[in-house]
Amino acid sequence: MRARALRLASPVLTLHVAMGLSFLGIAVVLVLVTGLVGGRSWVLAWPASSLLVVGLGYVGLGAVVTGKRPNGTFTWHAALLLMPYLAAAELAWYAVRVLGQEEPWQEVSHGLFLGRRVQHWELPARIGLVLDMTAEFVEPEEVRSGRRYLCVPTLDGAAPNVERLARAMLEVLPFAGNVYVHCAAGYGRSATAMAVLLVARGLARDHAIEVMRSTRPRVRLRTTQRRTAQRVLARMAELSRVPPNEHGDSAVHST
């Protein structure tokens, strides 16, 4: 595994902090409107609270704020609090699904499929393992059932947690069947994980990102995602040198 294999000719500056500040700003505006207008405007406190929590996740707390569990579902209290944000994310995904011009997934290497969040009838054939990189969606039960399911919750536009992704990759790496890696649209978070997998399996020695873009042209890793992929490869190398009984409990689980 070589971290240097993750190269991008024109890296894109990360926007996740800007996204977090935007969410926080909108939350403040909604609170001000509620305070100034009064009356029925109090209902704006719900989306304001939702955006406040998500904004804090973007600027530092991470995907833990969404409460997504290893089985691909949400705790009830997290789902209730974040329902305005989750509903908006669901609508945005539906728009991508209906209006998107690109196929939902592509096979970037033999048995390795990269794509967006799908319904079970959209899955590639004979998928034995699904790696879900989203933090804002419940994974459809039919997608999780009958196959291994791993979840590394990651906020849209952000980089995944290094430790969680490294441990997930160590579970995916020896898997012999077809693997589907996805996020919401299949261009950023999922591509970060797929880049790690391609390099770790020796399938993309120098151009992991270009390999993905040859079949899925809109793939583009942000600078923080690309650097995180390098750190994940380094962490995988460290974990591989540790006896299995010293790894501790995995940060992700299958169902």
First to last CA, the chain: 28
**151 is annotated as an active-site residue:** no
CA distance 27 to 15: 18
19, 53, 183, 185: which is the annotated catalytic residue? 183
- Please say whether the beta carbons of 82 and 66 come within 8 A: yes
CA distance 136 to 157: 12
Q: What's phi and psi for 62, nearest 5 deg?
A: 85, -175
CA distance 18 to 238: 33
For residue 211, what are the CA distances in angstroms to 26, 72, 215?
38, 29, 7
Any idea which residues carry the catalytic annotation? 183
